Amino acid sequence: MAEIINLRMARKAKARAETKAQAETNRAQHGRSKSERRATEAEIARIDRTVDGAKRERADHEGGDD
């Protein structure tokens, strides 16, 4: 037989887990100093520039001349 659970308690446990996950995300985003945030943003921008510079151009023919 399956284990009998109280749906109210299960619903509250799920809500607590979601709240805990949201709190963890907020701590990661807002628990840093301004200089740390700016350093992270600069690093992301540098990586984006590197990736964009390394992209190849596609050799699609728009005119349809084969």
pTM: 0.43
**pLDDT tens-digit map of 4-63:** 889 999 999 999 999 999 999 998 888 888 898 899 999 999 999 999 887 777 767 665
Asked if the model's pLDDT at residue 65 lies above 60, the reply is no
What HEC string does the chain produce?
CCCCCCHHHHHHHHHHHHHHHHHHHHHHHHCCCHHHHHHHHHHHHHHHHHHHHHCCCCCCCCCCCC
